[in-house]
Structure 1
Amino acid sequence: MINLLVEVMMKVSRPLRSKTGVTILMAGLALLTLASWSLQSAEVDPNQLKFPKQFESWQATVEQQESEDMLAHYPASIILWAGSSFAKEYRSPRGHQFAVADVTHTLRTGGAVVKGDKGLSASCWTCKTPDAPRLMKERGIEGYSGANFVDLGREIKSVVYCSDCHVDGSEKLALPRPHAQDAMAKIKQPFDKQDPTMQGAQVCGQCHVTYYFQPEKSNKVNIPWIFGSTADAIEKYYDTRRFYEWIHPISKTPILKARHPEFEHWSRSTHAKKGVTCITCHMPKTNDEQGHAFTDHKVATAMEHFDQVCSSCHGSQAAMVKKLDKTKATIDAKARNLESLLVNAHYEAKAAWDAGATWPQMNDSIMAIRHAQWRWDFAMASHGLYAHNPKEGIELLDKATEQITYGREALARILNHLSVDNVDYPDISSKQSAHAAIGFIEADAVKAKQIFIKEEVDKHWHPVAKTGY
């Protein structure tokens, strides 16, 4: 654009051949250059100017656009999550650039809120955008979490960004989310007392961690680590509080839900003991064209950097891939078997209730379902479990299998006592049949969502809410 302006100035000043004319021309060009530079600078993110390679690699997360329909892969999950939004849609995660768009478009967040209905908590924005910490400061934590997800949609203008992990404008690490600060205090690892290596892991762990919404505090995000961060310790916390996320509509079980507990699994892994963190494997140091080192913010799989970050300990990439594939096959087989047992238990409980069972009779069985499903979820909701901590994953699935086996044996005795000879188990061979079993009509939910996107998101929300759609 500046070249075009220069050309215009030269034509306009052509009649001016005096020293005064040249002076006027030079002054005009200087002003135009300054104006053009100012305009360009206003359009460029300051962090992009200061950390160009880090910014460029962060932007490259838009290339990580593949997402799998996990309910289609594992239809039994629909039965296990019946009564919750997770049974509607559950997809594998994409790159950070899609964080806002994916939570906006998923069926789990629904659509327009019916007048008089409280709707979904704004806490669902917490780990998707730096606008969340900003809104917490403006409204107070409970003022933010007590607001409606949809009502704050127009306030969301950025995806996961520099200031989510750094003091803005600096490479210094930060932990801006209050729930993460509280959690690290609970386990006596406050952020400011850690070395940079552990701080890097905690920065990732502020979002790649399990949590729940505290109902008594306007649904603010809380990490349940008072007794510790293992599945057993978190279960103890929930059981002590008699907390549940929802009552399962089939078995009447008070259900617990795990959410991507990567930090928890990693913290007890061999990698953690050796000081190998999320940053080491997924954001390694690399060199630009001039040979200057910088941290790659694309957050790719470790295998993409095998020679750089894995080879010193693992030697052969082929051997490592073979070991991972074997581990994955073992975990998958245990998980599919456990899911089948859990589905059957939910329907056996239903048959017992329908036949007139009482709570004193059902208590042990219902608690077995609750605890077994919690461990299944704590294992399978963790992205990368196969590599991060497969030992713990296998232990969780084995323990859950023991628990649900005990629960089903107790249910068999109850059913026999109530003279129940037949249990109607659902068809879980496909996503469609599993949805039919719980009475969810996906086409209707999709239609309602599309109307919401057209009438609200497309008209009033920032374009970041449509990235990838």
Structure 2
Amino acid sequence: MIRRLSRTALNVTLLVSVMFSGQSLADTEIDLLQSADKAQFPAQYNSWAATEEQAEREDLLANYPANIILWAGSSFAKEYHSPRGHQFAVADVTHTLRTGVTPESGTKGLSASCWTCKTPDAPRLMNELGVQGFSGKNFTDLGHEIKSVVYCTDCHVKGSEELALPRPHAQDAMTKIHLPFDKQDTSMQGAQVCGQCHVSYYFQPESSNKVNIPWIFGNDADSIEKYYDTRRFYEWIHPISKTPILKARHPEFEHWSRSKHAKRGVTCITCHMPAATDKNGTEYTNHKVGSALAQFDKACSSCHGSQSKIEKVLDRDKKAIDKAARHVESLLVKAHYEAKAAWVAGASWPTMNDAIMAIRHAQWRWDFAMASHGLYAHNPQEGKVLLAKATEQATFSREKLKEILRVLKVKDVYYPDISTKEKAHQAIGISVEALTKEKQAFLKEEVEKNWSPITQRGYQYP
């Protein structure tokens, strides 16, 4: 039987280890706690560590350069990749061009809220600094404090299998929709644990940019849009069309919550963390979170008799959703530039209001669909409805703009060539080369010297 260290023994061991290792107390504590977790839960620990094998990712801006135009004016237009294994969560947010570099003295940079879902150090720092004290810091201010990547304590009470929901924004959101964590069965708690990060949110400007989940009216696209419109909230003003833009962020929990899977009690864990058996024949939950189809026999076969059949259905839905999304993107790109032509020709806000709001709402629904990883598997029906409505709204916007341009006697609208990522960046004046050079200098001088090695996982410095 494995005996766990008592708190007193752990503290003594910490002090001794620090004296002889040269490490900081925080680094040594993490090492010891991880050793204890590995000893007590070896199969779970090793499968968690194996997420480092999930290193592949796609450059989504290269795949879909129209997105650069839709996100013009925001950091999302700079760099946007598909997600990969949990082991890369801290390194990827550190290295992306979206998080930039240390801001000049006296200026406000990106909020530390960007660390919220990447590390258990975020809840720790919120406890130390207060939620708004944490979010009020710059992202780079707390880089040296980030010592661990997505870990056991993000989902469990320390040292045990008991599920936990450590992030305040998630606790608040579950209360809003009357699903408090402590009132749920283990299955739903498991989904909520994943949903504390795999969910859409925004940074609340009146509360020092703390993370907030906009579920007061509900968690579907219409209800969240109502919340934002009621507050007259926007994340940025689009530099081409002057549209007040909303941004969705990976709303997997929202889509799942209305899916056929959810109605049948099938959760994130059922599909992405199925039961496995260790070398001793003991069953455990596989923490190498990955594709359900890769483990069809364990994750899917109890409901789906044929892997080839379900793959055909998924492929059909993915193709349908991708086709609809590309169509919406094309409409929205044209609408943004047609709005620009109208403004240049002297259009007024009262004249433009309906067209601009239609762009806002169409882009929101497109984003709420496409920002969700695996929509075609989680809830393809909702995805198709969202994109159909987005098509309707974008078409309405263009019809309004066509009439405005006719009245203003504008005959030609300039649509730039955005057939590649490079051309789309050029169209909105982003120099990826300059941003990359600046970022590399920051990584070399600050991150490599002062931040934890986990911020470099999977990267090599030039």
In structure 2, do the counterparts of structure 1 residues 51 and 411 end up closer, same or farther at CA, with 3 Å as the change threshold? same
1:457 corresponds to which residue? Answer: 447
1:78 corresponds to which residue? Answer: 68
**Cα offset, 1:116, TM superposition:** 1.6
What is the CA–CA distance in structure 2 between the aligned matches of 1:401 and 1:385, rounded to whole Å? 18
What is the CA–CA distance in structure 2 between the aligned matches of 1:97 and 1:266, rounded to whole Å? 24
Question: Percent same amino acid at aligned positions?
Answer: 71
What is the CA–CA distance in structure 2 between the aligned matches of 1:439 and 1:44, rounded to whole Å? 46
2:49 corresponds to which residue? Answer: 59
1:345 paired to 2:335: yes
Q: Secondary structure at the match of 2:301?
A: helix
What is the CA–CA distance in structure 2 between the aligned matches of 1:291 and 1:304, rounded to whole Å? 21
Q: 170, 184, 204: which is aligned to 2:174?
A: 184
Q: Secondary structure at the match of 1:45?
A: helix
1:18 corresponds to which residue? Answer: none
Q: 253, 257, 261: which is aligned to 2:251?
A: 261
In structure 2, do the counterparts of structure 1 residues 44 and 372 end up closer, same or farther at CA, with 3 Å as the change threshold? closer
1:113 corresponds to which residue? Answer: 103
Letter in 1 for 2:392: E
Q: 195, 202, 207: which is aligned to 1:205?
A: 195
**Cα offset, 1:290, TM superposition:** 1.1
**Cα offset, 1:392, TM superposition:** 0.1
Q: Secondary structure at the match of 2:203?
A: strand
1:143 paired to 2:140: no
Alignment root-mean-square deviation, CA: 1.5
2:241 corresponds to which residue? Answer: 251
Q: Secondary structure at the match of 2:139?
A: coil
What is the CA–CA distance in structure 2 between the aligned matches of 1:125 and 1:70, rounded to whole Å? 22
Contact 2:154–2:164, Cα closer than 8 Å, also in 1: yes
1:132 corresponds to which residue? Answer: 122
Q: Secondary structure at the match of 1:213?
A: strand
Letter in 2 for 1:193: K
Q: Secondary structure at the match of 1:365?
A: helix
**Cα offset, 1:312, TM superposition:** 2.3
2:3 corresponds to which residue? Answer: none
Q: 219, 222, 234: which is aligned to 1:229?
A: 219
Letter in 1 for 2:224: I
Q: 383, 386, 411: which is aligned to 1:421?
A: 411
Letter in 2 for 1:108: R
1:356 corresponds to which residue? Answer: 346
What is the CA–CA distance in structure 2 between the aligned matches of 1:233 and 1:397, rounded to whole Å? 16
1:93 corresponds to which residue? Answer: 83
What is the CA–CA distance in structure 2 between the aligned matches of 1:55 and 1:149, rounded to whole Å? 29
Letter in 1 for 2:48: W
1:322 corresponds to which residue? Answer: 312
Letter in 1 for 2:241: S
In structure 2, do the counterparts of structure 1 residues 294 and 330 end up closer, same or farther at CA, with 3 Å as the change threshold? same
Q: Taking structure 2 as the reference length, what is the TM-score of the superposition?
A: 0.92
Q: 432, 437, 445: which is aligned to 2:422?
A: 432
1:13 corresponds to which residue? Answer: none
Contact 2:272–2:299, Cα closer than 8 Å, also in 1: no
Q: Secondary structure at the match of 2:119?
A: coil
What is the CA–CA distance in structure 2 between the aligned matches of 1:312 and 1:202, rounded to whole Å? 23
**Cα offset, 1:42, TM superposition:** 4.7
Q: What runs of 5+ residues in structure 2 fail to find an aligned partner?
A: 1-16, 22-27
2:436 corresponds to which residue? Answer: 446
Q: Taking structure 1 as the reference length, what is the TM-score of the superposition?
A: 0.91
1:282 corresponds to which residue? Answer: 272
1:194 paired to 2:207: no
Letter in 2 for 1:94: R
Q: 164, 171, 176: which is aligned to 2:161?
A: 171
Letter in 2 for 1:335: A
**Cα offset, 1:322, TM superposition:** 1.0
**Cα offset, 1:44, TM superposition:** 5.6
**Cα offset, 1:112, TM superposition:** 2.1
**Cα offset, 1:354, TM superposition:** 0.1
1:59-83: CA deviations, max 9, x gaps?
0000000011000000000000000
**Cα offset, 1:289, TM superposition:** 1.1
What is the CA–CA distance in structure 1 between the aligned matches of 2:143 and 2:34, rounded to whole Å? 24
1:225-250: CA deviations, max 9, x gaps?
00000000000000000000000000
Letter in 1 for 2:364: W
Letter in 1 for 2:256: W
**Cα offset, 1:314, TM superposition:** 1.6
Letter in 2 for 1:174: A
1:158-213: CA deviations, max 9, x gaps?
00000000001000000000000000000000000000000000000000000000
1:403 corresponds to which residue? Answer: 393
Which is greater in Rg? 1
What is the CA–CA distance in structure 2 between the aligned matches of 1:189 and 1:205, rounded to whole Å? 12
Q: Secondary structure at the match of 1:426?
A: coil
**Cα offset, 1:106, TM superposition:** 0.1
1:157 paired to 2:133: no
Q: What runs of 5+ residues in structure 1 fail to find an aligned partner?
A: 1-34
**Cα offset, 1:309, TM superposition:** 2.0
**Cα offset, 1:426, TM superposition:** 1.5
What is the CA–CA distance in structure 2 between the aligned matches of 1:385 and 1:197, rounded to whole Å? 21
What is the CA–CA distance in structure 2 between the aligned matches of 1:380 and 1:428, rounded to whole Å? 19
Within 5 Å, which residues of 2 pair with 1:307-318?
Answer: 307-318=297-308
What is the CA–CA distance in structure 2 between the aligned matches of 1:189 and 1:278, rounded to whole Å? 17
